[in-house]
Structure 1
Amino acid sequence: MPDFTVPLSSYTEKYRYKYLALFHALRSAIHDGTLPEGTRLPSTRELAEMYGLSRGSVSQAYEMLLAEGYVRTTVGSGTFVTGVLGKAPESAAATAQMTLSPWGSRMVAAMQQSGDAAEGLANTPAPAAAEALISFRDSGPREALFPSAEWKSALAWVARSKHGAHAAAAADPAGDRELRAAIAAHLRRSRGISADAEQICLFNGSMQAITLLTQLLLGEGEPAVLEDPCYYGITRAVSACGGVAVPAQLDGEGMVPRDFVARLLFVTPGRQFPTGVVLSPARRRELLAWAARRNAVIVEDDYDSEFRWSGRPLEPLKALDRDERVVYIGSFSKTMFAALRVGYAVLPRSLIRPVTLAKALYEPAPPAHQEQQALARFMLTGGYERHLRRMRRHYGAMQAALRQGLEQEIGDLFELRPADSGLLVYALWRRSPEEFQAFREAAYARGVVFRNAEIYRQTPGPPAACFGFAHLDKNALYEGISRLKEAWKDIQVTRV
């Protein structure tokens, strides 16, 4: 048993759910320095045995810490404290209140709009099956399927190489050049994007790229066009930068183009997030014509284009961009593992210098430089392509199983939207909003959670759910669907 102590008892009195008590206890220990940066946390099994918890409760607490940036996970090595990166614990309210800048105040306000409170489950009674919680929320790829031996070999190669130990000191703020060249080659081959290494800037995840670009391109009070619904990270970035979000309507062909009075537009054409709608070729041409006419920039977030099961893949907007109006953003967090925070942007040449200079202000030397070199090695030796082929087969089968199970067991409750790619299933609720909330609470009581798609909307809309599956095995997937069916039965019993 590891030599490890966390003051859990005081938090179990405050929080009714064990995983929440553990999360807050660990988070406070990180904030007050009891668990300094670099500390290796016990495994979920070890910590569960130490405090009489289930491994499910410990796993959920670890996932929350990972989502807020307090810890990082390394395949085959464990979970490590990264430092104080997230929100301050409740005890910080007793300290002196500092006056934030307008940007800082907006950023904090934007980031507070998250979690169970935003999804309406904050005050729901504890799940009866909390000891084996099954989450259909997106938790990143399933790490058990990752080729960790190949990855470790790439890391070892970097450690042995003559430039691995010293390159970080003189690293380009735009990131490792070999990795940027490997990404450019991959995009030319797989996405039809003609780009070179100079046009690619690496980031600590795609969200950092989105935020920095928004800061550079959006002035105080200026409009930015966003899909409705869309990923809430984009909404937060616009709000934090003092911009005004302009919701764009969606239909069966994706974003509905208008002559938007704006100079910045965000879009997910390959697979609209979260609905899964693919932007039609005609709409793509219309958006590019709008950008040229308005002297605007389009930020194209191609967040999970690597996972397509059927249908002809359409060229990204960036591949059609002849006027240098599109910034293409991608990430490795869904294709590799969630803790590998490597995102990238393919920039118009006019933005290369401003973005690189801004990146240098935040990070004079890019983080995780050896991981970047290892990823370049992994791509150049063919490991990345082999991994993608395996994961396409696996995720394709998982998505088919999820869709079939949902349609068979609760198809009278949800209308599953068509999708030929992606790692989540978008489903419209067929009944009343009141019944939707009752169903979500009943599912939670059965130990199942799924994403309420309302958190992605800017304007009111019909109830909908997002079912993520990449992190689950088939046993958990089928068990989760079975519990959802039982949850609906629970509601019928209470009505009798």
Structure 2
Amino acid sequence: MRSGSTGREDAKDKDVSFMSVTLRRHWPSHRARIDESHWAKLWDLLMDLHVDLQDRRDVAGQIYRGLRARILDGHLRDGEQIPPSRELAQRLGVSRNTVSVAYEWLTAEGLLVSRGRAGSFVQNASREREARAATARGVKLRPRAIWNGLQVPPPAMPSAPYDFRVGIPDATLFPFEAWSRLLARQLRTTAMTAAYADPSGHPELRESVARHVGISRGVRAEASDVLITHGAQQALDLVGRVLLEPGDRVAVEEPGYPPARVLFQSHGARVVPVPVDAEGLDVRALPADTRLVYVTPSHQFPLGIVMSPARRRALLDWARRRDAVIIEDDYDSEFRFGGRPLETLHGLDRSGRVLYVGSFSKVLLPALRLGFLIAPPPLRRELRLAKQVTDWHSQLPAQAALARFIDTGALARHLRKTRREYAQRHTRLSERLRHHFGDTFEQLPSVAGLHLCVTFPRGGARRERELTRKAHDAGIGIEELSRYFAGTPTRHGWVLGYGGVTVERIDEGLRRLRAKLGGAL
């Protein structure tokens, strides 16, 4: 036996050789077209082809229905050869005539075509699948009414040569080698278990997150307060499941983060957009019966405004008097490039009404799907249960690797590196915007995050659409500010991300943009 081979592999080699030799003997005129790689493929199909023979009284019918299902499911595709009837008969332990009858039925139906000694091949599978899908679309299965009325968030923009899309970190900055070593360590047999784990998350990661946010953001939390999630979106979903009754009112920022708004609507909540001014969310505009308020105080999404200390105190006082709950989404808080960092709402809260949401999507990569929720003690049990009944727990090897990544200081080093890089991009983008468009756009103050915002003082929606179209024609990916409004937009402009574009590309991209817009400005 060859080193590293298995009994199955040796058996396959022997059977493939037998099939090819036998068929060459029977079909000498086709010898040139028959090779061992061809029959290796047929052997794999033969071994993997599942035909359930439960009733010995209708064997041909069962083979026919099994093969037909594989064809219509897409497992056997147009142009693919099916195993010879003799070989399938041996595999199933039935007579060759029985298999031949099933093949004849499929041929009569138009799903197989015989090419003489070359064998039988699948045909018309795609057409039949489309016809079946059209029939299925006619079936009146009704979802909950709430899903029919939801406004779908706009689709993500495709990448562009000059990529100023929002919410995209630079994957080239990710420490792939260090992360791979940590993850490989967790994937060893000795580190893996067959048991399900605590829905709250890996114990070491919960401790690491509590220390991390305590040091970097002044959040007072213990490991028991932390729930590990698949990013911020799942954290919001868990809160909605635990706290919201259908018809409850939820306040969100206007403009704001569309996925959060739609998520709360999917729970049956009455979502009301509340305007944002120079100090953040306008607390005076909150409806009195609001049950939950969702805010991004450290770097308002998408305007980039920082909620003032007075407005933070006013919001906390309002929530205490109205018996409401606040979700503080502290996205991108690790990337601050100027100004004095303000204490989080969670840190200021003395009545236990703030749930703190964070994510590692921008710090590391969105593909890792790791985030966290820090909640007051009265909600721990219910949130843990909500996590358990939805997906039980997040991926354990990645959680354990992230715990080590934090505890060894690798995250702190990575943050220092990425913060320097993103700070350069932030500065360059701000400077180049003022240089090329200082007389045309108003750039909103921004000292954190991975994007900034400019508004058009005149022209409104039509001007926004026209300039955005010209930008896209020039290969520049820019998002319209109006797409982040739930109601009628009161501002128009652009939201420009710099996570996915280098300093050099910023210069060239804005130069091209200025040249393209030309007289349109």
1:229 aligns with 255
1:115 aligns with 155
For residue 194 of structure 1, give the secondary structure of its aligned residue in structure 2. Answer: coil
1:393 aligns with 420
How far apart are residue 318 of structure 1 and its match? 0.6
Structure 1 residue corresponding to 2:394, chosen from 354, 357, 367: 367
| Offset from partner CA, 1:130-176 (integer Å, 9 cap, x none) | 996322112521111112121112112323484x211x623101111
Give the counterpart letter for 1:371 in structure 2. Answer: A
2:228 aligns with 202
1:99 aligns with 141
Q: Does 1:479 align with 2:508?
A: yes
Give the counterpart letter for 1:402 in structure 2. Answer: L
Structure 2 residue corresponding to 1:299, chosen from 308, 313, 327: 327
Residues 409-448 of structure 1 correspond to what in structure 2 (within 5 A)?
409-433=436-460, 434-448=462-476
Q: Does 1:243 align with 2:269?
A: yes
Give the counterpart letter for 1:486 in structure 2. Answer: A
Does the Cα contact within 8 Å between 2:165 and 2:500 map onto a contact in 1? no
Length-normalised TM-score, structure 1? 0.74
Higher helix fraction (1 or 2): 2
2:380 aligns with 352
How far apart are residue 98 of structure 1 and its match? 5.0
Structure 1 gap ranges (5+):
1-31, 36-88, 120-129
**Pair member with larger Rg:** 2
Report the more deviating stretch, 107-116 or 259-268.
Answer: 107-116
For residue 248 of structure 1, give the secondary structure of its aligned residue in structure 2. Answer: strand
1:133 aligns with 161
Structure 2 gap ranges (5+):
1-72, 77-129
| Offset from partner CA, 1:425-463 (integer Å, 9 cap, x none) | 111113302222111111111111211111211232121
1:376 aligns with 403
2:353 aligns with 325
For residue 225 of structure 1, give the secondary structure of its aligned residue in structure 2. Answer: strand
2:364 aligns with 336
Length-normalised TM-score, structure 2? 0.71
2:180 aligns with 152
> Structure 1 vs Structure 2: percent identity of aligned residues?
37
Residues 25-64 of structure 1 correspond to what in structure 2 (within 5 A)?
none
2:201 aligns with 175
For residue 452 of structure 2, give the secondary structure of its aligned residue in structure 1. Answer: strand
How many residue pairs were aligned? 392
For residue 152 of structure 1, give the secondary structure of its aligned residue in structure 2. Answer: helix
Give the counterpart letter for 2:401 in structure 1. Answer: A
Does the Cα contact within 8 Å between 1:107 and 1:236 map onto a contact in 2? no
Does the Cα contact within 8 Å between 1:328 and 1:347 map onto a contact in 2? yes
How far apart are residue 337 of structure 1 and its match? 1.2
For residue 181 of structure 2, give the secondary structure of its aligned residue in structure 1. Answer: helix
How far apart are residue 100 of structure 1 and its match? 3.6
Give the distance between the partners of 1:179 and 1:212, measured in 2 at CA.
19
Q: Does 1:185 align with 2:211?
A: yes
Q: 1:418 to 1:161 in 2, by over 3 A?
A: farther
For residue 272 of structure 2, give the secondary structure of its aligned residue in structure 1. Answer: strand
Give the distance between the partners of 1:301 and 1:214, measured in 2 at CA.
14
Give the distance between the partners of 1:143 and 1:91, measured in 2 at CA.
41
How far apart are residue 338 of structure 1 and its match? 1.9
